[in-house]
């Protein structure tokens, strides 16, 4: 699997996401994912499954140093002291003394950006976090975070799939030396049944889901998270590096984007999103 280098962080291009995965599912599926080769694991404080993720990694035959582990600080913990305490709590649950990447989960908060970025830098300097990043930030917020931070900002984790044009945000990320990490790659179940994606998949003996994941990781500076609670789907999600989409297919998939393509935009947490290119 290839990795994306963003501001010094070497991030495996395909990750295993645990959003909306109950602990029991994590304990059942994540060990198989690690065995298969998913060595980039994504969780968050708000997911309520850090302890199970930590338990699986701790018991795994895969060395901790070979796993790229991401978690995210929830908005309720953005005040400086609460932030530091929450990171210690996350590390305890994850049974590790560091995470590879720590993100601010959503921008919506009355805590000043300087305080949040300052706390990120503090845990980075303390060695509790190898790299820092943001999630669900618009371009102006990405630029502000970069200006305020001593440590490089590695990535912005955002909703990204064929129905949502993120060209402008990706261009801004590249300009800032950052990557985009795509979540909701299956667009809440729309992708697997899409006629165009199925047609392209048929040409490569791949599924529509594999085509969408490949489309994401084939773009420069893009990482994608895949998620499944079905063990049989793990192999499907992982098998996206043995084929390539043609330039024409890449363009065709981009035409699926539409103005109402965004799925995730919680009031009070989401920013004012950048308009599509």
Catalytic sites, residue numbers: 47
50 token code pair: 């850090």
31 token code pair: 């060990």
- Do residues 139 and 175 touch, judged by C-beta distance below 8 A? no
- Distance from C-alpha of 122 to C-alpha of 204, rounded to nearest angstrom: 47
Give the residue from 89, 182, 88 showing the smallest Cα distance to 135.
182
The three state secondary structure string of 121-150 is HHHHHCCCEEEEEEECCCHHHHHHHHHHCC
- Do residues 103 and 135 touch, judged by C-beta distance below 8 A? yes
How many C-beta atoms lie closer than 10 Å to residue 115's C-beta? Answer: 15
Pairing between β-strand 99-104 and β-strand 129-135 as defined by DSSP bridges: parallel
105 is annotated as contributing to ligand binding: yes
Q: Which parts are annotated binding residues for substrate?
A: 105
Q: Which parts are annotated binding residues?
A: 105
């Amino acid at each position: 699997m290839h990795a994306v280098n963003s501001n010094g962080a070497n991030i495996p291009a395909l990750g295993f996401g645990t959003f909306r995965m109950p602990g029991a599912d994590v304990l059942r599926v994540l060990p198989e994912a690690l065995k298969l080769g998913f060595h980039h694991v994504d969780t968050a404080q708000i997911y309520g499954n850090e302890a199970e993720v930590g338990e699986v990694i701790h018991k795994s035959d895969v060395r901790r140093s070979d796993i790229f582990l991401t978690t995210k600080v929830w908005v309720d913990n953005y005040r400086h002291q609460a932030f530091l305490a929450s990171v210690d709590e996350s590390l305890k649950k994850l049974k590790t003394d560091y995470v590879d990447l720590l993100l601010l989960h959503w921008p919506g908060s009355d805590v000043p950006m300087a305080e949040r970025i300052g706390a990120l830098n503090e845990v980075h300097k303390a060695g509790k976090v190898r790299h820092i990043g943001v999630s669900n930030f618009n371009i102006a917020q990405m630029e502000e975070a970069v200006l305020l931070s001593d440590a490089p900002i590695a990535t912005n984790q955002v909703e990204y799939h064929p129905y949502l044009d993120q060209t402008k945000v990706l261009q801004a990320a590249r300009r800032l030396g950052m990557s985009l990490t795509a979540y909701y790659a299956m667009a809440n179940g729309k992708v697997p049944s899409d006629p165009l994606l199925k047609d392209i998949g048929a040409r490569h003996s791949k599924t529509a889901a594999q085509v969408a994941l490949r489309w994401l990781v084939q773009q420069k500076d893009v990482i994608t998270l895949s998620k499944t609670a079905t063990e049989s789907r793990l192999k499907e999600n992982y098998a996206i590096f043995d084929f390539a989409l043609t330039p024409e297919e890449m363009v065709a998939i981009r035409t699926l984007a539409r103005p109402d393509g965004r799925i995730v935009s919680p009031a009070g947490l989401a920013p004012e999103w950048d308009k599509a290119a």
